[in-house]
Amino acid sequence: MFCPYQLSEDGIEMQFATNHLGHFYLTNLLLEKMKDTAKSTGIEGRIVNLSSVAHLHTYEEGIIFDQINEKSSYDDKKAYGQSKLANILHANELSQHLQAEGVNITANSVHPGLIMTNLFKYSGFLMKIVKLVTCMLWKNIPQGAATTCYAALHPSLKGVSGKYFVDCNEFEPSRFARNKILAKELWDFSYKLVNAAEKP
């Protein structure tokens, strides 16, 4: 979160690689097993992407596909927001694919809230002051896990897919996060990056 510019071992900007591509790749690795399990047990599978309200603060285009690794245009906070926007878009597009296949799996995204963890180790002095002043708004770790657990387990969400949740309630995300064309473009872009990284 808000880390200085760096690239992953595969040459991809670190926040995008870690916060989005890692989730995208892991989900794809597990998806066939999830489909088989949901079919054989009759129990609904649920995929929950951990996003953030930070998805509201991204680059002007939402996702800068053509400059994803560009150091000169890198902004640590916008790059983080971009990666969190990608989490929502991925869940939305995945939901469309799952519904089209008719499989018993849902995909949603959540904002866990402001949580007291060491995620802010790269944040500057100003952010540390903001954290101190707003400490009453912050959640402890169990409180921060509540919305994720809700989306993963609550019976009332059976069959609910392609939604974004905040404080255990459905919430409308940004216009970029609701953009189906952007979601499809991200899906195709992510597949290309993952496939390129898999090749020896």
Q: Which residues are catalytic?
A: 74
Identity of residue 186: L
Report the residue count for the chain. Answer: 200
Please state, in angstroms and as integers, the Cα–Cα distance from residue 8 to each residue in 13, 21, 153, 197, following that order.
6, 11, 33, 11
What are the φ and ψ backbone dihedral angles of 170, each rounded to 5 degrees? -65, 140
| Long-range pairs, 69-78, Cβ under 8 A, ≥24 | 69/7, 69/11, 69/12, 69/13, 71/5, 74/5, 74/13, 76/2, 76/3, 76/4, 76/5, 76/15, 76/122, 77/2
Q: Single out the residue of 55, 83, 46 nearest to residue 177, CA to CA.
A: 55
The owner of tokens 């969400």 is 157
Q: Nearest 5°: CA angle at 76, between 65 and 128?
A: 155
